[in-house]
Structure 1
Amino acid sequence: MITRRTFIINTSLTAATVLALPSLAFSMYKKEIGLQLYTLREELPKNVKAVLEKVAASGYTNVETYGFSIKDQFWGLSPVELKKILDENNLKAVSGHYNLGSFLYDGNTAELIASIEAAKTLKSEFLTVPWVDESFRKSLEDYKKIASRLNQAAKMCADSGLKLAYHNHDFEFQKHDGVTGYEILLNGTDKSLVCFELDLYWVVRSGNDPLQLFKENPGRFKMWHVKDMDKQNQALNTEVGSGLIDFKPFFAAAKQAGMVHFFVEQENNFAVNSFQSIKTSCGFISQKLI
């Protein structure tokens, strides 16, 4: 594990190496900027149509959904109704965060099946697992069970024309008997079926280096969360380009990572308000990173 100071130094050195290798620097992703809609969780349920209009007006073309449930669907809207609003604003829900009910723990497929149908209706490419409850990730055996469940879910997704992805926080990088949970997930899942959505903020926050993960697991990180770290309080987010994380080396290594989509996310600490923050982040990315 490295310190954050060492991380900043190392990323600068690695960037020079990546930029010297055109085959690694070449970008394989469409230069479209996505937004994880959880950023707007306070506003979105109040008026989905108005919020998505503002998302499009801020420069985004892709979104990643969250919050689906069998009972409430998407903030009271059916997948068909949400797709209509997205289409009206030229937005594509290329991925969505789906909790899958209790599938990861007991194999109950009800929520998974409903999630797959919702993702298909939205014409998504990826169905993404966003979180594992703490009580189910206390040991290596727990992570092995999760990896097995991810393989099962990925097969069901593949049968429906979707790809399964797993989104990390920092807890996956805690060690259990000398091995991290994330290592178990990477090594215990089928590379041809299970992708990973790398939350760059949480990797850096945990003291690890995304570039090293790209090097050790090329092609597995099909999606990223681009979320910056506040300079004064590293537990908080900030607008992309305003914080501690230098994203340029990561984008230079996009091909090695396998990245095809990325999403801005900011969970807190908005400079003015959430709408201004997503506009600021989009502007920085379009001018400085892609």
Structure 2
Amino acid sequence: MTNLKPIAIQLYTVREAMAQDWIGTLEKIAEMGYLGVETAGFGYAPSVAAAVAKFAELGLTVVGAHSPLPLGEQQAQVLETMAALGASRLICAGTGRDQFGTLADVKERAQTFNEANAVAKANGLSFGLHNHWWEYTMVDGRRAYDILQEDLDDDIFFEIDTYWVQSAGFDAATEVAKLNERAPLLHIKDGSTKQEDSMLAVGSGVMDVPKIIAAGTNAEWLVVELDRCETDMMTAVKESIQYLTREGLGRGR
């Protein structure tokens, strides 16, 4: 495969290791060959600035940040964090299952996301959405996520969690192709795709990872994320990048 996409890791994956030794964990991630990180809070570090300094020291690009929405009382804190982080992509990690239950719920979510996008743009940021499986449940005979997309601003991007698309009963590669022009980040994970099961190292489950990555021609980064794992997490994280680089699916160091 030509034009290999660089490989990053969503740090939520290694949250337990980070809580014990965040500096050592980041050093191991860099040693494994990861080129970037995606953040999901900074409770492990004394400050955002300290984390940013370590990322820079290790040559880890910050590809985006999972963050609360930049609205209401949390707006100032979110924008302050993004400024300190120096990343341009602010990503809503997801919302509760109950917020996609009815057509009115979906419409309300779209309005809220558009408001968040306006704030992000006004502050030099791009705003995107990360999915779970429940955005793909049926509402009035249609997938909730399809309804949502019709009402979203055109410049909101999608970070497609390919595993959860498949878990919802749809072909992940088809969804990546559908949203390709608005999908700069792909979440890559593996496992049985059964919602109750933990995940496995990329390349060890049922996901057709080569097909998924091939469909994402517009993707700028492949982001490994394992919400929980059947095996030792750090081992799975290492095996994931080894698989992606060995099979010529992505680029490490």
Give the alignment's TM-score, normalised by structure 2.
0.90
State the one-letter code of the partner of 2:19.
P
1:36 to 10, 34, 48: 10
Residue 38 of structure 2 aligns with an amino acid whose one-letter code is: E
Shift of 1:85: 1.3
Aligned to 2:84: 121
Equivalent residues in 2 for 1:184-223, closer than 5 Å: 184-192=147-155, 194-223=156-185
Please say if residues 5 and 220 of structure 2, whose CA atoms lie closer than 8 Å, have aligned partners that are also in contact: no
Q: Give the letter aligned to residue 90 of structure 1.
A: G
Out of 226, 229, 236, the residue aligned to residue 269 of structure 1 is 229
Mapped to 2, the partners of 1:231 and 1:152 lie a distance apart of: 33
How far has the Cα of 1:151 moved from its partner?
Answer: 1.1
Q: Unaligned 5+ residue runs, structure 2?
A: none
| Distance (whole Å) between structure 2 residues aligned to residue 233 and residue 134 of structure 1 | 13
Query: Aligned ranges for residues 178-257 of structure 1 at < 5 Å?
Result: 178-192=141-155, 194-230=156-192, 235-255=197-217
Q: Which has the higher contact order (CA 8 A, sep 6+)?
A: 1
1:270, distance to aligned residue in structure 2 (A): 4.1
Tell me which residue corresponds to 1:20.
Answer: none
Deviation at 1:217, TM superposition (A): 3.5
- Are 1:278 and 2:237 an aligned pair? yes
- Number of matched residues? 249
Select which of 198, 209, 220 maps to 1:260: 220
Give the letter for the 2:48 counterpart. Answer: P
Query: Quick one: distance in 2 between partners of 1:179 and 1:187?
Result: 12
Distance of 2:153 and 2:174 partners within structure 1: 20
Quote the residue 1:85 is aligned against: 54
Structure 1 runs not aligned, ≥5 long: 1-24
Alignment check: 8 A CA contact 1:35 1:64 kept: yes
1:74/1:269 Cα in 2 relative to 1: closer, same or farther (>3 Å)?
Answer: closer
Contact 1:147/1:184 (8 A) holds in 2? no
Give the deviation of 1:149 after TM superposition: 1.2
The alpha carbon displacement at 1:126 in A equals 1.0
Q: CA deviation at 1:76?
A: 4.7
Say which SS state the counterpart of residue 267 (structure 1) adopts: coil
Residue 152 and residue 232 in structure 1: after superposition, are their counterparts in 2 closer, same or farther (change >3 A)? closer
Matched, 1:96 2:70: no
Distance in 1 separating the partners of 2:39 and 2:111: 25
Q: Quick check: 1:210–1:250 contact (8 Å CA) kept in 2?
A: yes
The verdict on how the C-alpha distance between 1:149 and 1:278 changes in structure 2, with shifts beyond 3 A counting, is same
Contact 1:94–1:123, Cα closer than 8 Å, also in 2? no
Partner in structure 2 of residue 58 of structure 1: 32
CA contact (8 A) 1:237 1:268 kept: yes
Contact 2:92 2:129 in 1 (8 A): yes
Letter in 1 for 2:183: F
**Against the structure 1 CA distance between its residues 57 and 180, is the aligned structure 2 distance closer, same or farther, given a 3 Å change threshold?**
same
Query: Percent same amino acid among aligned pairs?
Result: 27
**Distance of 1:251 and 1:50 partners within structure 2:** 30
Match of 2:137 among 170, 174, 179: 174
Q: Which structure has the bigger radius of gyration?
A: 1
Specify the SS of the correspondent of 2:182.
coil
